[in-house]
């Protein structure tokens, strides 16, 4: 999975549906919560898009699913913990949270282990979601 | 090219100069889209991309002069070069105001770049036809 990638996939005529200024933005998290600043900076971008009232979807794949585990004690490792921010997303009306099924299973997890309500999707469905968004941002 | 075929682009650069092709690739892409008559509104540097705007960086090799090349192109084509303030500060890229604010002995922002919030990325993306990201 390429990291730090994103691209716009729309044709100009199809932009944004009915509202040109409310774009469909998907933020993909593919790295674990201790992988440098990727999770933290991905979440900051999500919150800014929500503050601009954009149609925001989050997707978690590969080690990204670890971002959603509860009980992360970053202080014990001497770090700051951004993962609490995922628990507050509903306050920003961000409630489209997708988690890729194989990524969970390969890590011995299921949706019940995660700290927020998510929609578990298979790879094909995730691909459809990527195509259905205007802009994709990868972290 | 008809005006209606001309697209508005925003570039998002996640890659630091040196050690990969993303950083220099973004500049080549910018030149190419401009040469084809498209419009570039903003290049936003986030994550490790903020190192592009660090005037103290000495990447060596092909990546030397990347900041100056961006700066020249932005002046010529009329788009702006923005570093995310949070990402930049975390990585030691500060403008004069930021250096004063945080009590640092010097500033490190390269000429032609400015430091601003993440909102500048979203704001530009909202009105763009294409957002293309360069990682590594």
Query: Which of A1, A4, A7, A25 to mutate to probe the B interface, most B CBs <10 Å?
Result: A4
pTM, two decimals, is 0.91
Write the pLDDT tens digit of every residue in A66-82. 999 998 877 777 778 89
To the nearest 10 degrees (0 to 180), the angle between helices B66-77 and B22-35 is 20
Asked if B80 is an interface residue toward chain A (Cβ–Cβ < 8 A), one would say no
Percentage of residues in chain A with pLDDT exceeding 90? 75
Whether residue B109 contacts residue B95, with contact meaning beta carbons closer than 8 Å, is answered with yes
What's the ipTM? 0.92
Asked if A27 is an interface residue toward chain B (Cβ–Cβ < 8 A), one would say no
Strand partners, A26: A57, A136
Structural tokens at position B88: 């930049």
DSSP characters over chain B: --GGGPPEEEEEE-PPSSSSSHHHHHHHHHHHHHHTT-EEEEEEE-GGGGGGGBTT----GGGTTHHHHHHHHHHHHT-EEEEEHHHHHHTT---HHHHHHTT-S---BPTTEEEE-THHHHHHHHT-SEEEEE--
Q: List A residues 37-66 in contact with B (Cβ-Cβ < 8 A).
A: 37-38, 41, 44-45, 48-49, 51-52, 54
Compute φ and ψ for A5, nearest 5 degrees.
Answer: -100, 155
Report the chain B residue with the minimal C-alpha distance to residue A48: B119
The reported pLDDT for the residue numbered A6 is 57
Whether residue A135 and residue B131 make contact (CB cut-off 8 A), yes or no, is yes
Asked if B132 is an interface residue toward chain A (Cβ–Cβ < 8 A), one would say yes
Asked if B22 is an interface residue toward chain A (Cβ–Cβ < 8 A), one would say yes
Q: Is the pLDDT of residue A35 over 50?
A: yes
Query: Of the candidates B86, B87, B131, which has its C-beta nearest A8's C-beta?
Result: B131
Instruction: Please tell me whether residue A3 adopts helix, strand or coil conformation.
Output: coil
Whether residue B15 and residue A8 make contact (CB cut-off 8 A), yes or no, is no
pLDDT tier for residue A17 given thresholds of 50, 70 and 90: very low
CA angle A4, A44, B97 (to 5 degrees): 100
Whether residue B133 and residue A138 make contact (CB cut-off 8 A), yes or no, is yes
Catalytic residue status for B133:
no
Whether residue A23 contacts residue B126, with contact meaning beta carbons closer than 8 Å, is answered with yes
Q: Measuring CA to CA, which residue among A76, A61, A90 is closest to residue A3?
A: A61
The reported pLDDT for the residue numbered B34 is 98
How far apart CA A82 and CA A32 sit, in angstroms, is 12
DSSP state of A106: H
Write the pLDDT tens digit of every residue in B72-122. 999 999 999 999 999 999 999 999 999 999 999 999 999 999 999 999 999
pLDDT tier for residue B61 given thresholds of 50, 70 and 90: confident
Report the chain B residue with the minimal C-alpha distance to residue A42: B47
The reported pLDDT for the residue numbered A138 is 94
Choosing from B41, B84, B85, B109, the catalytic residue is: B84
To the nearest 10 degrees (0 to 180), the angle between helices A38-51 and B119-126 is 50
């Amino acid at each position: 999975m390429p990291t730090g990638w994103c691209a716009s996939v729309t044709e100009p005529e199809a932009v944004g549906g009915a509202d040109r200024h409310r774009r469909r933005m998907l933020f993909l998290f593919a790295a674990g919560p201790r992988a440098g600043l990727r999770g933290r900076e991905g979440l900051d971008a999500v919150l800014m898009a929500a503050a601009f009232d954009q149609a925001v979807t989050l997707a978690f794949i590969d080690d990204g699913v670890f971002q959603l585990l509860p009980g992360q004690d970053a202080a014990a490792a001497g770090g700051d913990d951004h993962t609490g921010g995922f628990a507050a997303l509903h306050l920003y009306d961000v409630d489209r949270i997708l988690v890729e099924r194989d990524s969970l299973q390969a890590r011995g997890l299921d949706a019940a282990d995660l700290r927020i309500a998510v929609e578990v999707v298979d790879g094909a469905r995730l691909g459809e979601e990527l195509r259905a968004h205007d802009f994709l941002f990868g972290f | 090219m008809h005006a209606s075929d001309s697209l508005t682009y925003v570039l998002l650069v996640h890659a630091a100069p040196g050690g990969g092709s993303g950083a220099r690739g973004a500049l080549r892409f910018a030149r190419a889209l401009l040469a084809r008559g498209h419009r570039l509104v903003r290049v936003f540097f986030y994550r490790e991309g903020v190192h592009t705007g660090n005037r103290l960086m000495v990447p060596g090799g092909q990546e030397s002069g990347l900041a100056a090349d961006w700066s020249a192109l932005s002046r010529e084509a009329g788009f702006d070069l923005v570093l995310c303030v949070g990402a930049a500060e975390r990585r030691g890229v500060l403008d004069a105001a930021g250096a004063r604010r945080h009590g640092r002995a010097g500033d490190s922002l390269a000429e032609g770049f400015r430091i601003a919030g993440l909102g500048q990325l979203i704001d530009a993306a909202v009105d763009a036809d294409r957002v293309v990201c360069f990682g590594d």
